[in-house]
Amino acid sequence: MSEQAPVIVWFRRDLRLADNPALEHACESGQAVLPVYIFDDEAEGAWPDGGASKWWLYYSLKSLRKDLEELGSRLLLLEGKSGDVLTGLCKSTQANGVFWNRRYEPSIVARDTEIKKTLADQGLLTRSFNGSLLQSPLSVTNKSGTPFKVFTPFWKHIQKLSTRKPIAKSQQLHAPGAWPRTESLDYFGLLPKRDWADGFAKEWTPGERGGQVALSVFRDKYVGKYSDLRDTPSVRGVSRLSPHLHFGELSPNQIWHAMDREKNEPYLRQIAWREFGHHLLYHYSDTPEKPLRPEFKKFPWRPDKRHLKAWQMGQTGYPIVDAGMRELWHTGWMHNRVRMIASSFLVKHLLQPWQAGAEWFWDTLVDADLANNTMGWQWVAGCGADAAPYFRIFNPITQGERFDGDGEYTRKWVPEIAGLPDKYLFKPWEATAELLEEAGIDLGNTYPKPIVDHPEARQLALDAYADMRS
């Protein structure tokens, strides 16, 4: 390669400078480095970024741009079909190579393969690297040489595999002699026009630095209590690293090597669970829309826009479900235990298709990851790999009492019933008229009555499951 020609580093879901294999190899080439991010919704197929993800992406790109500028570089922001943009950029800058970190969503793999061939046919160097997973999905198979469908054997297997140690951040990037034109970040309209995301900034600090701080805080203060506190939504018991992982502000390798493998195994299993989701999506590409277990194609769902809307807005009349859905709306995130409760309620109490829930989460979660969103919803619905049995139906009353016993979480997000005693907090319809009046509650007006009866809904779900099997 000519030393005067730059090399392009194509950023995607790897918005960081440290432990970035594509960036590291570009720096080692001795060429000037052109960092670029391309807005290409067409490449995402049916799953372009949702509203919450766009909010995060805006601030993550803003952070990355600042970090690059501190190294004497810039971030080019361009729009269009990725292959066309890269080809045009190579011509206009005389770049002779494009480096990137792989994504493993099937539609992206197909697109990237085509781009690599097109660039190579033009005599350009293309190099891609695994910067988003501990292991490439191609390198992980069971003893039969086929993909895993059960997590525990998958977990045992990947523990035996070596993982790449994190790469230190480059301290300087060689800038090109001239910079191409770039769009402004505001040009892309990522921030919502409505004020529904106003609460996000109080909860999150997008960007690589925010991710590093979050990792340090979790490792130093909370990971040792993870097993005891992970299911309690009112306390800081989980890592909250998922959006940083999704946008590649942190790599799984950085987390894996920051933890003690033996002491922190319960948490590291969650990193492996994320890997498992990407493993499944890579090998079973239609699972975002179709159940992995084919018999569930016959499941008798009962789509109901009124029920779906009540669930989305946290107005089901079941306080622990409503608390979770409101936390999601205001913060772009929901505690994992409550995610399971709220998701189960949608598919098993309301008999709404799991795809409808996945679509809502995709739009409202800041950590909306296609692999993990798909796996999580199929797990709850009972139609995925290693899934919870469909006939295991969470009772939203006892789940609230068990995991939010003092009601702190529920009272925060459903303040209109905060005055109820603990005994009735998760079943306000059983409180006496006097208690409801004292608490300032008018059931059906200030807080909804349950939109379904739990025992009846449970039986309908079991009947639907039996119908499908027969």
pLDDT for 350-401, tens place per residue?
999 999 999 999 999 999 999 999 999 999 999 998 877 778 899 999 999 9
* Segment 51-105, tens digit of pLDDT: 999 999 999 999 999 999 999 999 999 999 999 999 999 999 999 999 999 999 9
pLDDT computed for residue 83 by the predictor: 97
Terminal-residue alpha carbon distance, the chain:
65
* CB distance 140 to 148 below 8 Å: yes
Q: How far is CA 161 from CA 129, 141, 248, 274, in A?
A: 18, 12, 22, 16
Cα separation, 232 vs 59, in Å, equals: 29
Question: Is position 79 within any domain?
Answer: yes
Three-class SS state of 100: strand
Q: Smallest Cα–Cα separation from 468: which of 390, 378, 359?
A: 390
Question: Is position 374 within any domain?
Answer: yes
* CB distance 189 to 79 below 8 Å: no
Q: Which of 225, 257, 283 is the last residue of a domain?
A: 283
Cα separation, 185 vs 189, in Å, equals: 8
* pLDDT score of 275 more than 70: yes
In this structure, the answer to whether residues 122 and 147 fall within a common structural domain is no
In this structure, the answer to whether residues 409 and 440 fall within a common structural domain is yes
In this structure, the answer to whether residues 246 and 343 fall within a common structural domain is no
pLDDT computed for residue 391 by the predictor: 80
Tell the residue number behind the tokens 């009353």, with chain if given: 397
Question: Is position 239 within any domain?
Answer: yes
In this structure, the answer to whether residues 58 and 145 fall within a common structural domain is no
Three-class SS state of 99: strand
DSSP state letter for 315: -
pLDDT computed for residue 470 by the predictor: 82
Spatial strand order of the sheet with 33-39 comes to: 76-79, 33-39, 7-11, 97-101, 125-129
* Segment 205-227, tens digit of pLDDT: 999 999 999 999 999 999 999 99
Task: Give the model's confidence band at 1: pLDDT under 50 very low, under 70 low, under 90 confident, else very high.
Answer: very low
Question: Is position 174 within any domain?
Answer: no
* pLDDT score of 2 more than 50: no
In this structure, the answer to whether residues 105 and 222 fall within a common structural domain is no
In this structure, the answer to whether residues 234 and 310 fall within a common structural domain is no
pLDDT computed for residue 240 by the predictor: 97
Question: Is position 182 within any domain?
Answer: no
Q: Which of 131, 158, 181 is the last residue of a domain?
A: 131
Question: Is position 116 within any domain?
Answer: yes
- CATH assignment of the domain containing 92: 3.40.50.620
Task: Give the model's confidence band at 320: pLDDT under 50 very low, under 70 low, under 90 confident, else very high.
Answer: very high
* CB distance 205 to 241 below 8 Å: no
Cα separation, 185 vs 414, in Å, equals: 36
Q: Which of 112, 131, 150 is the last residue of a domain?
A: 131
pLDDT computed for residue 321 by the predictor: 98
* pLDDT score of 12 more than 50: yes
pLDDT computed for residue 392 by the predictor: 87
Q: Where are the alpha helices (DSSP H) in 74-187?
A: 82-93, 106-121, 151-159
Considering its fold, how many domains does the chain have in total?
Answer: 3
Which one-letter amino acid corresponds to residue 381? Answer: A
Which one-letter amino acid corresponds to residue 317? Answer: G
In this structure, the answer to whether residues 275 and 303 fall within a common structural domain is no
- Mean pLDDT score, 223-249: 97
- Mean pLDDT score, 111-124: 96
Task: Give the model's confidence band at 317: pLDDT under 50 very low, under 70 low, under 90 confident, else very high.
Answer: very high
Q: Which tokens is 283 given?
A: 């090998």
* CB distance 416 to 441 below 8 Å: yes
Domain containing residue 274: 133-166+208-283
Q: Which tokens is 159 given?
A: 């523990």
Question: Is position 415 within any domain?
Answer: yes
Q: Which tokens is 341 given?
A: 């409760």
pLDDT computed for residue 26 by the predictor: 96
Can you say whether the dihedral through the CA atoms of 84, 281, 373, 209 is positive or negative?
negative
pLDDT computed for residue 194 by the predictor: 74
Task: Give the model's confidence band at 46: pLDDT under 50 very low, under 70 low, under 90 confident, else very high.
Answer: confident
Three-class SS state of 372: helix
- CATH assignment of the domain containing 368: 1.10.579.10
In this structure, the answer to whether residues 395 and 263 fall within a common structural domain is no
Q: Smallest Cα–Cα separation from 367: which of 46, 129, 10, 13?
A: 13
In this structure, the answer to whether residues 316 and 455 fall within a common structural domain is yes
Q: Smallest Cα–Cα separation from 324: which of 238, 196, 454, 412?
A: 412
Summary mean pLDDT of the chain: 95
In this structure, the answer to whether residues 275 and 141 fall within a common structural domain is yes
- CATH assignment of the domain containing 277: 1.25.40.80
In this structure, the answer to whether residues 298 and 279 fall within a common structural domain is no
The share of the chain scoring above pLDDT 90, in percent, equals 92
Does the model's pTM come out above 0.85? Answer: yes
Can you say whether the dihedral through the CA atoms of 279, 284, 290, 294 is positive or negative?
negative
* Segment 419-448, tens digit of pLDDT: 999 999 999 999 999 999 999 999 999 999
* pLDDT score of 411 more than 80: yes
pLDDT computed for residue 86 by the predictor: 98
- Mean pLDDT score, 318-339: 97
- Mean pLDDT score, 279-302: 95
Cα separation, 356 vs 347, in Å, equals: 9
Q: Smallest Cα–Cα separation from 255: which of 276, 240, 277?
A: 240
- Mean pLDDT score, 108-133: 96
In this structure, the answer to whether residues 35 and 118 fall within a common structural domain is yes
Question: Is position 195 within any domain?
Answer: no
